[in-house]
Amino acid sequence: MSDRLDAQPGPATGSGSSVQPERDQPETGAPTKGTRMAAPGTRTSEEKTARRPAAGKADTTKVLAVPKGRTGAARILLGRDAIMIYVLVVVVLYASLVIPRFASPVTVGFLLLDVIPTLLIALPMTLVIISGEIDLSVASIAGLTSALMGVLWQGGMPIALVLVICVLAGLVAGAFNGVLIAYLGLPSLAVTIGTLALFRGLALVVIGDNAVANFPPGLTSFFTSKIGGTGIPTVMVGVVVLIIAFAVVLHFTPFGRGLFALGYSKEAATFVGIDVARSKFLLYLATGTVSAFAGIYWTLRYSSARSDNASGLELAVIAAVLLGGVSIFGGKGSIPGVLAGVLLIGTINYALKLDRVSEVVLIIVTGSLLILSVVAPNIGAAVQRARHARQVRAAPLP
C-alpha cells in the first residue's frame, strides 16, 4: 500500500512513513556538481535505501493482513440470536405442516399459557447466569408462593392482600439467597440446591397434602382469557412489559453492562468500580419476586394451590436460557436469544403433546436440549480455535 502511494505523483495523502512532495521539502541549497536530479514524484536511491528495513528486522510498515469479522447487518443476521429465531421459525412451520390442529389460534393460546411461567423466570435467570451465578430454587419459591396463597385464601383473607403477601414472600426468599451468596460469599450452586429443598419443604409444611381450588372465578377467568380471536392470553400484556423492562436493564443500562463484566471477571469488575455484592443481591431479589409472580400465575391458571406446583420448572428454565445463547460460564447472552429459546422448547413440547407423545419423552427431550445447549457452543469454540491455529501455522513469515 505504501509503495503504491509512493509511486504516484503529486501530494501524498498518507502519514508516518509517506514521502513528502518535493515542494514541501525544505530547501537545502543547490545540488552539487555531478549529482543527478531526481524527477518530481520519484525517490532517490538514498531514500529507497533509507526506507528499506534493516537486515534482521521485520518491516513494520507493511500491513500483512487486515482483520476480518462480521459487522453491521451481517453480525445481526448471522449471530446466535438470529440463528435461534431461524430454528424457531423452521420448527413452527414444520409442526404446522405435519401435526394436525397445530396451526390454529387455540394452539397459540394454550402454547403461550404453557410457556408463561418458564418465560417469566427465564428473564431474571438470564441476568443471574450472565453474572456467573445460578439459582436452582426458583421453582420451589413458586411452589411455596402457591401453597401460601392457598392457605391464606382458605383462611378468609382478601385476595388482594393475599397476592401482596405472596409477592413479599418471594422477595424474602430471594433476599435470603442473596445474603448468603452476595454478602457471605457462599457458592450459588450449593446455596440454591439447599434452598430448593428448603422452600419445597416449607411449602409442604404450609399446606400439607391438601389442595385449594376455590379461588375467585373472575380472577381465574382473567388469567386464562384471550385477546379477541387472536388466541393470545391477556396476561401476555404484563409479560411483554416485563420482557421490555429486563431487556432495557440488561442491554441499555450501566447496571446491565456491569453484569457482563461481572461474568467475565469479578476482580476486574470490582477494579472498575462495580459493587459486586450489591449487584448479586439485587439479582436474587429479582429472581425471588418474579418466581412469586410465576407461582401466583400457576395457581390461578390451573385454579389449584398445591405444594408440588411448578416442580421441575427450574430444569426447563435453565435449558431455555442456555439454549438461547447464554453462556453457563457467564459474560455472554441476550434477552432476544432467551425468548427464542423459551418459545423453541415450548413449541417442541406442545407439538409432541399434540402428537400424543408421552410425558417421559418430553422430559428426555428437555434434558437433551439442555445438554446440547451446553456442549454445542464448546464444540464450536474448539473448532474455531483449531481453525485459527491452522491458519496461523500456514501463514507465510514476513
Q: What is the pLDDT of residues 258-314, one digit of tens each?
A: 999 999 888 888 888 889 999 999 999 999 999 999 999 999 999 999 989 998 899
Are the C-beta atoms of residues 323 and 339 closer than 8 Å to each other? no
Q: Return the biggest CA–CA distance within the chain.
A: 115
Instruction: Show the cell assigned to 353.
Output: 403433546
Tell me if 329 sits within 8 A of 173, measured CB to CB: no
**What pLDDT is attached to residue 379?**
82
Q: Which amino acid is at 290?
A: V
Write b or e for each residue in 300-314: b if 16 or more Cβ atoms lie within 10 A of its Cβ, otherwise e: bbbbbbbbbbbeebb
Distance CA(294)–CA(121), nearest Å, equals: 7
Low-confidence ranges of the chain (pLDDT < 50): 1-42, 49-50, 53, 55-56, 64
226's grid cell: 384471550
CA distances from 122 to 86, 164, 190 (A): 20, 22, 20
Q: What is the pLDDT of residue 133?
A: 94
> In this predicted structure, what is the pLDDT of residue 335?
94
Q: What is the CA radius of gyration of the chain?
A: 31
Residue 4: predicted pLDDT: 41
Residues found in the chain: 398
For cell 373472575, what's the residue?
A: 218
State the sign of the Cα–Cα–Cα–Cα dihedral 242, 278, 316, 249.
Answer: positive
pTM for the whole structure? 0.77
pLDDT of residue 256: 93
The DSSP element (H or E) to which 125 belongs, if any, is helix 105-130
Q: Which residues, other chains included, contact 195 with Cβ-Cβ below 8 Å and sequence gap of 6+?
A: 137, 140, 173, 176, 177
Can you tell me which residue has the cell 555531478?
Answer: 34
Tally of CB atoms within 10 A around 325: 22
Grid coordinates in use for 155? 383462611
Residue 315 · residue 370 · CB < 8 Å:
yes
List CB contacts of 188: < 8 A, sequence separation 6 or more: 128, 133, 134, 135, 177, 181
The 8-class DSSP code of residue 353 comes to: H
Q: Give the amino acid at 302.
A: Y
- pLDDT for residue 37: 47
Confidence (pLDDT) at 339: 94
Contact indicator for 295, 142 with CB cutoff of 8 Å:
yes
DSSP state of 21: P
Question: How far from each other are the two terminal CA atoms of the chain, in whole angstroms?
Answer: 15
Q: For residue 319, what pLDDT is reported?
A: 86
Whole-number pLDDT of residue 374: 75
What's the pLDDT tens digit per position in 3-21?
443 444 444 433 334 444 4
What lies within 8 Å, CB to CB, of 250 at 6+ separation is 126, 127, 130, 256, 259, 334, 335
